[in-house]
Structure 1
């Protein structure tokens, strides 16, 4: 290859980067690794990197792509880690641009470069970059710098470490709130690289300065710094140096700060000693659960079981349960929904007697909540309570809640309760299910919304897995097959979907004695959509039947002739799926096959959804 040929890739890259078309420029950036490979390491270092550094595009999309590409293993195209520092030039420029996502991606890529460069490269190239960014005239470069200290602090000498601490301290005291916010975001990660003595002498003063900042957007980020610092110190030191700050955060005038405290409360409590939890954090947690802002109470409700694990049962009953009772009747539905997700987690901590006395009334109360999400959240966590007290005490209130949710006017609520039915069935037992829930599950097959009917067929398969094939043959298969002769074609379609979905959970006997006759009868259905779904059903049934010699005989005598008939159908879709099914059946009749089963829904899914949403099944 002569020199002109070698220049060809870089010429194309330059042309595309200068193009007015953003798509072309993006494509060029995404091909940089290919271009670098074609150029070779030396020319990539000497030509490509300087070009990228001098020709940065002003389109944020292109800049973001470049920042990402340079941090995605690009070092190898330059000849290895000894040349990795060359990437710092273009990445430094990207770390100072105005667009936040570009700066963040550039900082992330710089951190990746820091992982592979040597100490000498850090001293010669990385530290000067850090100084330039930290001392930049524009706040954008200083915000990027804050995230770059932790990556190299442990790799440099003491003198450089001292300089890094001073530079980071300057960012924490910057006049621009955005810079202080970035410093607060990264203070915890920086602190983890320092010795305990330096955390006490250098980091805690910076934390206190940021945690009392006049901007709540800065203060709220110091909550995670507080956790990181507490994890470095021992419990006695935490009490000495951080207890006042913890109290200040809990009682901060900004609800956003209190929200962050509530949302991270278990992590915070886990990082301090038992005496601090008992004497100080229990009252603090109670205060958060009684906060004036619903968002804070919602976050606190999500922390209840985790925090309860850190205290004695007496404290749970005396201090936390009164708050839980108040939250169960909170004016905010979001607070009650969050409590509904978490309240069951208290049962293992309280034990059977205390759960029955204190928790069960609240549990049953939330099952009757007006907001469906609350009831759904309770039911989704039923297993935890059932393990402690048994299902008998719950069933009388559980059933009305299930029925009400099953009939909710929002189809997504109905779909959610369907997904919980197999879990409930496993806990309630077959007798209770047959008596109370069987008809409900069958009614979903006739829902006006296709997604509900689809979920109902999947539900039947899961129930078959729970209760067994014999139960399915006696209880649900007869009801499914009755729909196969319904005058409304959507009912017949649902029958085919249900059979196709359930087939992998059935055996040869159940298929040949029960469902096959219905599928065969629908070969001549007047609706083409049904006929091609019959063909797809045969494909699944053949895969299942092929596992036993008796089943392979059924494939030869019944399924293949039916598919051959469908292959001559007047509808092109029917012929297509019949052909696919026939290929599977011909293989299956001779040997056991492990075929990937086709999805329940097919190319008619969109039409099905439309029909289901607009036309009730009864019409």
Structure 2
């Protein structure tokens, strides 16, 4: 229908306007017109929306990706605008076209909308209209349509008769394109959730076994990435029989990306194992491969493992942790990669609950020192964040003896972000160990920086006061910190004097001026 023939007929005006706007060179105008489709549909009514608007949209899917994305999203909520569930199948043609375009986000949104409107189909309509769409997509010449089909099998499989289920299963044979095969792995999760155990064994596991050994590393990576979802969908018995050996293979994969993805799933996989027999499976099947990953040549693999390995401790208990995991932790604490050491330190609470931190303390110290002095300032920044946790686990005596000097050294780091984090760290430590500890251990060192020749260090003194005053309270602030602040009011650097004023304004409400009447502002 041409725009010229529509303009003179007011009843056709909305379509005419839409045609003109969609032909406009301005992408934003075309996008805005798509976003008001629901308004146009309301103006047209359900019959003309079905007979005019949707055919027009189906025939004009050639626009910019952002316009197509908006269209795919709009159509997913169009059921009421076409007359309800009895007519919802008329939304399938435009969405089918959108499900075949090259841009991934458009296809994904089209599939999302198709999945939504599939629920509006009656069982007969689903078999009559929706299933043929899935078959067409699954048999398409281009991988784009076949990838979209992977996301649609699960929404119709459970609702169709057994003969149709058999036809759908034939469409899930290994595809020559790895982009399709990797999405088939994701589809296995949805399908497995719908099937009984014996059906899973017969219908899903062959696909997964092939995927674990697929020639494309991207497919194997998808299996590793979706492994715990597969584990939950498939159930404990098949997991023990098939998935655990498959997981061992993924942890030994020749591609580092696959090993790293599998390594990151170790803790969750073990947590999802049935309690009865979990410990034995971990010791027999998982730990040997984990030990190999600890010394993997790829730092991303080691880092991924280090972020989860501590979580195995509660499942193995104290004796097995000391015998099997502790040597691995100690090896990772000495790893040349700072991210590995950092990930171990950041998860110490898991081990602390099982064996106590003391068994790790002697090995922890060298690792902490190296991280605290790492050349990468982001690494130094990261270890600061875990210092209060470490301090609480190691105790005040160990901290005072071994770690306090490290925390004070961060206050004079050449990177402001590190100095700022070190200041906040002192506040958290004071909250953990108490204001008396702060008064005796850290405040004297902080105040001594007020006379440092470097004005940045003098500024840090003020920043620390701002962080500590509310933890330390009125007496310590007034009697110990205030004199130093007032003296700094005559600092030769204007920025220091300005921050003195800001500090006084901040701490003023809690100070006891009567306690030190001899002090007067000297700036």
Is 1:306 the counterpart of 2:268? The answer is yes
CA distance in 1, matches of 2:48, 2:406: 64
Is 1:265 the counterpart of 2:227? The answer is yes
Quick one: structure 1 residues 138 and 346, their matched pair in 2 at CA, closer, same or farther if it must change by over 3 Å? Answer: closer
Per-residue CA deviations over 1:550-605 (Å, capped at 9, x if unaligned) read: x365699799x75xx87xxxxxxxxxxxxxxxxxxxxxxxxxxxxxxxxxxxxxxx
Is 1:468 the counterpart of 2:431? The answer is no
Aligned pairs for 1:232-381 (under 5 A) are: 232-309=194-271, 310=273, 312-381=278-347
In the TM superposition, what is the alpha-carbon distance from 1:102 to its structure 2 partner?
A: 3.9
CA distance in 1, matches of 2:98, 2:341: 54
2:73 aligned partner = 108
Contact 1:328–1:336 (CA under 8 A) maintained in structure 2: yes
Per-residue CA deviations over 1:116-146 (Å, capped at 9, x if unaligned) read: x27724544x532422453689846994754
Per-residue CA deviations over 1:438-472 (Å, capped at 9, x if unaligned) read: 01100001111111111110111111111111111
In the TM superposition, what is the alpha-carbon distance from 1:156 to its structure 2 partner?
A: 2.9
CA distance in 1, matches of 2:265, 2:93: 41
CA distance in 1, matches of 2:296, 2:221: 17
Is 1:191 the counterpart of 2:154? The answer is yes
Per-residue CA deviations over 1:243-290 (Å, capped at 9, x if unaligned) read: 111111111111000000001111101111322111111111101111
Q: CA RMSD in A?
A: 3.4
In the TM superposition, what is the alpha-carbon distance from 1:320 to its structure 2 partner?
A: 0.7
CA distance in 1, matches of 2:157, 2:347: 42
2:118 aligned partner = 153
Quick one: structure 1 residues 376 and 48, their matched pair in 2 at CA, closer, same or farther if it must change by over 3 Å? Answer: farther
In the TM superposition, what is the alpha-carbon distance from 1:54 to its structure 2 partner?
A: 3.0
Alignment length (residue pairs): 504
1:533 aligned partner = 499
1:168 aligned partner = 134
Per-residue CA deviations over 1:406-436 (Å, capped at 9, x if unaligned) read: 0111111111111110111111111111111
In the TM superposition, what is the alpha-carbon distance from 1:513 to its structure 2 partner?
A: 1.8
1:224 aligned partner = 186
Contact 2:123–2:160 (CA under 8 A) maintained in structure 1: no
Per-residue CA deviations over 1:52-97 (Å, capped at 9, x if unaligned) read: 4531244556655665x449xx769969998996997599479923
Is 1:209 the counterpart of 2:171? The answer is yes
TM-score (norm 1): 0.74
> Which of 83, 101, 107 lines up with 1:120 in the alignment?
83
Quick one: structure 1 residues 512 and 96, their matched pair in 2 at CA, closer, same or farther if it must change by over 3 Å? Answer: same
Contact 2:46–2:83 (CA under 8 A) maintained in structure 1: no
Contact 1:75–1:81 (CA under 8 A) maintained in structure 2: no
CA distance in 2, matches of 1:384, 1:523: 48
Contact 2:478–2:513 (CA under 8 A) maintained in structure 1: no
TM-score (norm 2): 0.87
Contact 1:94–1:103 (CA under 8 A) maintained in structure 2: no
Quick one: structure 1 residues 446 and 255, their matched pair in 2 at CA, closer, same or farther if it must change by over 3 Å? Answer: same
1:178 aligned partner = 144
Per-residue CA deviations over 1:382-409 (Å, capped at 9, x if unaligned) read: 1111111101110010010000010111
CA distance in 2, matches of 1:283, 1:138: 37
CA distance in 1, matches of 2:401, 2:45: 70
1:8 aligned partner = none
Quick one: structure 1 residues 313 and 92, their matched pair in 2 at CA, closer, same or farther if it must change by over 3 Å? Answer: farther
CA distance in 2, matches of 1:223, 1:456: 46
Per-residue CA deviations over 1:461-484 (Å, capped at 9, x if unaligned) read: 111111111111111111100001
CA distance in 1, matches of 2:515, 2:158: 73
Quick one: structure 1 residues 135 and 494, their matched pair in 2 at CA, closer, same or farther if it must change by over 3 Å? Answer: closer
Unpaired stretches in structure 1, ≥5 consecutive residues: 1-42, 546-550, 567-619
CA distance in 1, matches of 2:426, 2:465: 10
Is 1:96 the counterpart of 2:61? The answer is yes
Quick one: structure 1 residues 80 and 387, their matched pair in 2 at CA, closer, same or farther if it must change by over 3 Å? Answer: farther
CA distance in 2, matches of 1:397, 1:204: 59
Tell me, what secondary structure is at the counterpart of 2:336? coil
Tell me, what secondary structure is at the counterpart of 1:156? coil
